[in-house]
Amino acid sequence: MAKGKRISSDIGDDAIDAIKAFGAAAKLARTTAGEGQAVAAARLGVHVQTIARIESGEPGVAIGHVLGMLALYGISTTLQQRQQQPPVENGERPA
């Protein structure tokens, strides 16, 4: 279980990986723009610690702050639903 505030203990590794990917993308965009964390914080209207938490992939950061930071640097996101696996019958998945 990843550390963070107000996070369900049921959050899966795939979700944690996605959160960390958002943080890495935000950090890359910020550094590519040549801005420090303090500048990003001022632009987003949050504390500099929030920027550090976003970039480290902490799952307790408000989603609005994460998406807001990405938007500051021109990164958009697209939601995509996973295809569901067919039900398992007799313990085996169809080929």
Tens digit of each residue's pLDDT (9 = 90 or more) over 17-66: 999 999 999 999 999 999 999 999 999 999 999 999 999 999 999 999 99
Q: Which residue has the higher pLDDT, 48 or 82?
A: 48
Residue 93's pLDDT band, with cuts at 50, 70 and 90, is low
Give CA–CA dist 63/15, Å, rounded: 13
Residue 1 confidence (pLDDT): 39
Residue 8 confidence (pLDDT): 63
Give CA–CA dist 37/22, Å, rounded: 16
- Sorted by sequence, the CB contacts under 8 Å of residue 40 that are 6+ apart come out as 30, 51, 69, 72
Residue 17 confidence (pLDDT): 93
Residue 94 confidence (pLDDT): 56
Task: Tell me the mean pLDDT in the region 74-91.
Answer: 78
Residue 23 confidence (pLDDT): 96
What SS3 state is found at 95?
coil
Give CA–CA dist 95/79, Å, rounded: 28
pTM: 0.76
- Sorted by sequence, the CB contacts under 8 Å of residue 93 that are 6+ apart come out as 85, 86
Give CA–CA dist 84/17, Å, rounded: 20
- Considering only CA atoms, which of 38, 71, 66, 36 is closest in space to residue 54? 66
